[in-house]
A and B are shown apart, each in its own frame.
Chain A
Amino acid sequence: MPPREAEPAVKLAAGVAAGDKVAVAAALNLVEDRRAQTRNAVDALLCALRTLRPPGYGHRVGLTGPPGVGKSTLTAALAREYRARSLRVGVLAVDPSSLRSGGALLGDRARMAFDPQDEGLFVRSLATAGDAGGLAYAANAGVAVLATAYDRVLVETTGVGQTETDVEHVVDTVCLVIQPGSGDVLQFIKAGIMEIPDVIVVNKGDHGRLAQRAASDLQGALDRLRQAGLGGEQSAWTLPVLVTSARDRTGIDALADALQAHLASRTPSERAEKRSRGAVAWAVSLLSRQHGEHALDLLGGAQAVRAQATDALARGATPIGAAASLSERYLAALRAG
């Protein structure tokens, strides 16, 4: 850790761990800062944060799905359910929509009526507009901050293109949200994206029979895939399909239970393994964001770069530090080449 940045970082991290909202917000402001001169401070903060919680602490859940399926309302309902279970919740609402101007309208808060006095709930909106690294760059550091302050972190993002696969690297459990009668599921199966989710939710269960039928159709399709040996990674976990109505607040407790069950189905080492893979992906995305795909080629291809990043992380670097050393190696190779 660069010594100059260490002291304020430790102080800020302590505030984050204590759940002080002003500190959490200041930490988020810092990790969103893209200036080169703040990179050391961000690195120092991440270093300080990870000393404050054990490696497998908490549960990070991603909610993803196409626009208009009611993710914001569902996220709000799930946050309320966690609060009712006395769990502290941090929400990161990621908006990948972008304008040429770089401007963004972050409307998620409008759907979340919340109590401003509640110290156990924190909601932050994040625009990833125009960022080539997409979700990975912006959300990882934000999640690291929120996961230190809160027991549960919900990352809500609209599934457009790349983000469904990106969100996998940021969270422990991916929840895919769809709505009845949309035909989205078929698209996902065709695109092979069914590998990603750990829990599937058919929201808008208030549409009644339509929702129930969508759920059972989906369950049937998944069963057939599994029988054909195509049902995603082999594990003890069977992908559940749930019906919720964020509007009528039904099925939310079952969703919280299913998410918890998914977490419990993994051994501590499996969880640690998943988070390490996420950290590697983060470091690699930082590198390619800075130098482009060419850096990966010059350093021996994506797999070799991942191995180098894994190595740096194992030696105690943060993903930012790992990316920095990869960057140095790339620049050296460039000069040599």
Chain B
Amino acid sequence: MSSSAGSHKPADPPAAQKQRERPWIMRTYAGHSTAAKSNELYRTNLQKGQTGLSVAFDLPTQTGYDPDHLLSRGEVGKVGVPVSHIGDMRALFAGLPLDQMNTSMTINATAPWLLALYIAVAEEQGVDKKLLQGTTQNDLVKEYLSRGTYIFPPAASLKLTADIIAYTVNEVPKWNPTNVCSYHLQEAGATPVQELAYALSTAIAVLDALKTGGQVPAAEIPKVVGRISFFVNAGIRFIEETCKMRAFTALWDRITKERYGVQDETLRRFRYGVQVNSLGLTEPQPENNILRIVLEMLGVTLSKDARARALQLPAWNEALGLPRPWDQQWSLRAQQILAFESDLLEYEDIFEGSVVIEAQVRKMVDAAYREIQDIEARGGVIEAVESGYLKQRLVESNAARIRAIESGQQVVVGVNKYTETAECPLTKDLDGAILTVDPEAEQAAIAAIKKWRAGRDDAAARAALAKLRAAVEQGKNIMPPSIEAAKAGVTTGEWAAALRDVIGEYRAPTGVSGARLDQGGAAVSGKETVEALRARIAGLAKTLGRRPKMLVGKPGLDGHSNGAEQIALKARDVGFEVVYEGIRVTPEQIVASAIEEGVHVIGISILSGSHMELVPQIVEQLRQKGLGHVPVVVGGIIPESDARALEAKGVARVYTPKDFLLNNIMSDLVELVAKSAGAHAAA
């Protein structure tokens, strides 16, 4: 593009007449309470100019349990919408013609089932499944490493992922059957190079499985490659993120050409969607988050050659609790302003020819390629998950990131610098500044699922389940019998139970046992140093007769284990004996472990919003078992008023994202143990 120097008017035709690029698909990750409520929300969002849907499912749906299952307690309708059968899916898309929607479903272990329900509803609407457009996330590797909603062992999960791809490539050809995710790797602490390498290694594992599994004829592999898409994170370092996206594009082009022999350039294109970073959003001065979100959006939109196909932005108040419709609207408006008011979409790639960007991209490409080869040498991504290698690397990276924030080396405005603030009018009424889920929703869902089971043709459901089971046993593609089961009224819990029964369940390595902490860098601030804490704990060990022991528990279905892992690591580092059980344990299991392990303090981590249901159960059961003297602390996204309520019920301390100095938490723990041991001995 040329422009004459010195002119103050645009040299080219006015913007309105100019050829503009088509903008990305704009979505908001949404869903809560019930299918009907979520349907209402989707309709409103579409009216506001959103161009795609992004369905958030609740944790029972994501992990394959019906609302009346023991593990579903407190989780129904919390982080998303419960979809237990075709009736729920029907209600979710009532009045939304599926041939006109572009629907992204964040669903993984139960992806074949939710896609089956979606296809079944489309057929009811009279829509040809060949017209369906959208995405199933369907990437289990990052579930083992970060997000935690896996069910089955890695190899079996890879087979299910491959089933969806093999089925959709011909039957639902416009569907993106898998979204290989680097998003959650960044949330788990991955550096940009790790993000690139681990995500691309995952894509390689999926494609290799399809190639060697014989599910797709060799001639169709290029077509399959063309359907693989990615889901990426964008953090605040938006120049680096721009480079990362260009590196992704370059690496994918090379891998698909060299490894899979894809000749058609369009099939080698790196297609990706984005949710910008939620991890960096702060609880103090939360209004600043909207500015972070906007900068993060730039990282994945500025470079035309590496621009996102679909974009969803978090809301400014996510570190406080669930966002309200207005909060989500604010984020959508940010996208619309960038796409329609600014001149971004009028230009070719603005980084073309930039020596600085090109050098940075090259550096990332080289480092990531070496890492990809290293993972390959370790037997591939699945082996590196099972051995715990990848998880351990992420835990280490995340510990380094947290340490940088603690020490002030990494500035977070409003958190570790510039913390003074005038009163924020947006959060004046703190409880009104977030959405609360109707507490009756869970009971209603339990009643509804019982009614559904009673009202359906049970013989037909049973027959469909038997067929599904047989298909799993014989290693056949899971999709056709799943669609039949969807039509026969089978429930999410029943579908998953049949698979659990044949395939078995998996518990992934926690990555904490072998993780090393880098002690280098600037000193960490806080009430006490690590050395001082170690000395106090050594003294406490003498008084107690044995080393203080801590149980770190993660109740409920929420799999975001980063916080629990970092607390466990830090506690070990200062001298606690730490028992960490991994994710998805029940209050009963936590209490049993506390008894059997003889612990002195219990730390509970919950991010799904089920704290008011689960934590009081733990405290009460401890009391019943005679362990009422063992202090319980809780960490998570916990609104202020809930924190006070939990303390009233006997919780010793509540920590939220603003408590980012781990040493201070450790100081509290030491004090609590000393106090409770003293009181207990005196009693």
Contacts and interface: CB of A to CB of B under 8 A. Distances in A.
Contacts of A97: 513
Interface stretch (A103-111, A215-223, A271-279, A328-336): A103-111
Interface centre among B510, B542, B546 (most CB of A within 10 A): B546
A110 B581 contact: yes
Nearest to A110: B582
B596 interface: yes
A21 B592 CA distance: 9
A107 B595 contact: no
A29 interface: yes
A183 to B, nearest CB: 16
A22 B595 contact: yes
Contacts of B588: 116-117
Given A101-B573, A113-B507, A35 B580 contact: no
Nearest to A90: B596
Contact of A116 (B547, B572, B589, B626): B589
B387 A68 contact: yes
Interface centre among A32, A102, A105 (most CB of B within 10 A): A105
B575 interface: yes
A103 B576 contact: yes
A33 B575 CA distance: 17
A101 B582 contact: no
Contacts of A116: 586, 588-589, 591-593
Interface in A31-47: 32-35, 38
Interface string A237-263: 000000000011100000000000000
A8 B546 CA distance: 20
A127 B577 contact: yes
Interface string A23-35: 0111011001111
Given A103-B571, A113-B505, A116-B588, A124 B597 contact: yes
A56 to B, nearest CB: 26
Contacts of B505: 113
A101 B545 contact: no
A137 interface: no
Contact of B547 (A21, A68, A111, A127): A127
A102 B533 CA distance: 12
Interface string B561-590: 000000011011111111111100010110
Nearest to A30: B545
Contacts of A107: 510, 512-513, 580, 582
A188 interface: no
A212 interface: no
B173 interface: no
A25 B576 CA distance: 19
A109 B573 contact: no
A138 B461 CA distance: 55
Contact of A111 (B507, B571, B597): B507
Given A107-B513, A110-B580, A127-B547, A102 B538 contact: yes
A153 B96 CA distance: 60
A125 interface: yes
Contact of B546 (A26, A33, A248): A33
A103 B598 contact: no
B625 interface: yes
Contact of B593 (A28, A109, A247): A109
B598 A114 contact: no
Contact of A103 (B509, B544, B545, B577): B577
A99 interface: yes
Contacts of B153: 247
Main secondary structure of the interface of A (DSSP, over half): mixed
Interface in B528-568: 534, 537-538, 541-542, 544-547, 568
A122 interface: yes
A35 B596 CA distance: 21
B513 A105 contact: yes
A123 interface: yes
Interface in A130-151: none
A68 B588 CA distance: 29
Contacts of B575: 99, 101-103
Interface in B435-455: none
A299 B371 CA distance: 59
Contacts of B582: 107, 109-111
A25 B595 contact: yes
B572 A103 contact: yes
Contacts of A248: 504
A28 B581 contact: no
Contact of A124 (B578, B596, B625): B596
A110 B626 contact: no
A228 B581 CA distance: 47
Contact of A102 (B513, B541, B592): B541
Contacts of B538: 102
Contact of B598 (A28, A34, A68, A99): A28
Given A101-B534, A116-B591, A35 B598 contact: no
A99 B573 contact: yes
A124 to B, nearest CB: 6
Contact of B572 (A22, A34, A99, A110): A99
A186 to B, nearest CB: 21
A21 B596 contact: yes
A37 to B, nearest CB: 9
Contacts of A34: 545-546
A22 B534 contact: no
Nearest to B584: A113
Given A103-B578, A110-B507, A110-B582, A25 B545 contact: no
B157 to A, nearest CB: 13
A109 B553 CA distance: 11
Contacts of A109: 579-582, 593, 597
A125 B594 CA distance: 11
Interface string A1-31: 0000000000000000000011011101100
Contact of B579 (A22, A114, A125, A249): A125
Given A105-B512, A105-B572, A21 B595 contact: yes
A116 B547 CA distance: 25
A105 B595 contact: no
A233 B582 CA distance: 42
A106 B572 CA distance: 10
Contact of A106 (B388, B545, B578): B578
A105 B511 CA distance: 11
B586 A29 contact: no
A35 B545 contact: yes
B384 to A, nearest CB: 12
Contacts of B571: 103
A270 to B, nearest CB: 33
Contacts of A68: 387-388
Contacts of A124: 596-598
A105 B545 contact: no
Given A103-B576, A103-B577, A106-B579, A122 B507 contact: no
A242 to B, nearest CB: 21
A-B interface, 4 closest residue pairs, ranked by CB to CB distance from nearest: A33-B545, A110-B582, A116-B592, A103-B572
Interface of A: 21-22, 24-26, 28-29, 32-35, 38, 68, 97, 99, 101-107, 109-111, 113-114, 116-117, 122-125, 127, 247-249
23 contacts: A22-B595, A22-B625, A28-B598, A33-B546, A38-B545, A99-B573, A101-B572, A102-B537, A102-B547, A102-B575, A105-B512, A105-B568, A105-B569, A106-B597, A109-B579, A110-B581, A110-B582, A111-B582, A116-B586, A123-B596, A125-B577, A125-B597, A127-B547
